[in-house]
Amino acid sequence: MRFETAGRDGHARAGKLTLNHGIVETPVFMPVGTNGAIKMCSRECVKDAGAQIVLANAFHLYLKPGLEVLRSFGGIHNFASWDIPILTDSGGFQVFSLSKNMRVDDEGVDFKSPFDGSIHKFTPEKVVEIQEAIGSDIAMVLDECLAPGNDLESTKKSVRRTGQWARRALSSHEKQDQSLFGITQGGFFEDLRKESTLEITSMPFDGFGIGGLSVGEDIDTTIRMLDVALPLMPQDKPRYLMGVGDPVLMLEAIERGVDMMDCVLPTRMGRHGGILTSSGRLNIRASVYEKDPGPLDSECDCKVCKTYSRGYIRHLIKRGESTGMILATYHNIYFLTNLMKQSRNAIIKGEFDEFKKHVIEKTNHKKR
């Protein structure tokens, strides 16, 4: 993996990430394909909507179809006929979300499969092995994801454990053509954020995730934590803010030096009629759009906005037609990949601050 910076504006970076399956220009939004597919968007659709890299989930792929099937195909790229870079998350977030059906100690996490109740164990080494079998371009280490609202003591413990697990993941990773990213934690405690960021970034990972944010806290808290973590992170490696897909927060993160982001929200929202637009989010199911002949977003030049009306897409979504969900999903992915492209251009031109202000002003002032 190579990471070069093509331009800077303040702390914001326009980067170029060279991975096994292609080049990714940053800042970048990564749509989430949990089971090895983006819901309501085929590979062709995802690429057409401007995605350069997608996210797949190690937890789900490990349980189904399982490593044996993935190994028999030589990995996810062959299995799913994907030819663009793929990042796999470690599955830690999903395992820790099982709450009552998991148990954690220093060795790893035992959990019950939500599919058939079978018992499994994730250790830092096992999670590396799973992602090596999946063959993603970027693998993430297993970290301890605490539920929001945890106290100082348990967050301290999780920072210590996350550090130990990161070291174990590093020493068990063998796949040369796969990058491995560490994950920084620390909850909403500034000192612990600092401690975790310094510890994890002192290890020779290819890049770094910022974990445990955007889990229900307010945007000011997220930004405060970014302000603690980002200045401590190395300049020459990519920084990945995990689980963020809100346009305003994405711009705030880019301004502070974040390069990569992912979120299920734009695709999940799209399937239910939630549309991202340049003047804020709208719900296409609302009756006000019943006879609206205009596009989903009058400032969007995607093929859905060039062709279809709000009234028609509203009708399809209300009827549960998958075509409606496909069109809305496409637009939402396009909207975010385009926002990232525009951010990159603004950074290269040294105009990111004006660009960000302009976008946020429009979003806030014309909320529907």
Catalytic residue list: 89, 262
Q: Tell me if 305 contacts Zn ion by CB under 5 A.
A: yes
280 phi and psi angles, rounded to 5 deg = 110, 180
Residues 6+ apart with CB under 8 A from 17: 1, 2, 3, 23, 24, 25, 26, 28, 238, 259, 260
C-beta closer to Zn ion: residue 59 or 289: 289
The one segment of 18-26, 191-199, 236-244, 299-307 that binds Zn ion by CB under 5 A: 299-307
How many residues make up the chain in this entry? 368
Under the criterion CB under 5 A, does residue 300 sit at the interface with Zn ion? yes
53 versus 296: smaller Cβ distance to Zn ion: 296
In this complex, which beta carbon is closest to Zn ion, that of residue 237 or of residue 331?
331
Site stretch for Zn ion (CB under 5 A), options 29-37, 65-73, 76-84, 323-331 = 323-331
Q: Is 284 in the site for Zn ion (CB under 5 A)?
A: no
| 331 scored as a contact of Zn ion (CB under 5 A) | yes
The least CB distance from residue 304 to Zn ion, in Å, is 5
Distance from C-alpha of 154 to C-alpha of 166, rounded to nearest angstrom: 18
Residue 113 CB burial class (10 angstroms; 0-12, 13-18, ≥19) = middle
> Cα(114)–Cα(63) distance, rounded to whole angstroms?
9
Q: Are 122 and 91 in contact, with CB atoms under 8 Å apart?
A: yes
Total of residues contacting Zn ion (CB under 5 A): 5
Largest Cα separation within the chain, whole Å, is 60
Which residue is listed with tokens 């797949």? 56
Considering the complex, state which of residue 233 and residue 265 has its C-beta at the smaller distance from Zn ion.
265
Q: Are strands 12-19 and 2-9 parallel, antiparallel or unpaired?
A: antiparallel
Q: In what order do the strands lie in the sheet with 2-9?
A: 2-9, 12-19, 22-26
Q: Answer yes or no whether residue 302 interacts with Zn ion by CB under 5 A.
A: yes
Position 109 contacts Zn ion (CB under 5 A):
no
Min CB(245)–Zn ion separation in Å:
16
Q: Which stretch binds Zn ion (CB under 5 A): 13-21, 24-32, 278-286, 292-300?
A: 292-300
Q: Is 269 in the site for Zn ion (CB under 5 A)?
A: no
Q: Which stretch binds Zn ion (CB under 5 A): 40-48, 255-263, 328-336, 343-351?
A: 328-336
Binding site for Zn ion (CB under 5 A): 300, 302, 304-305, 331
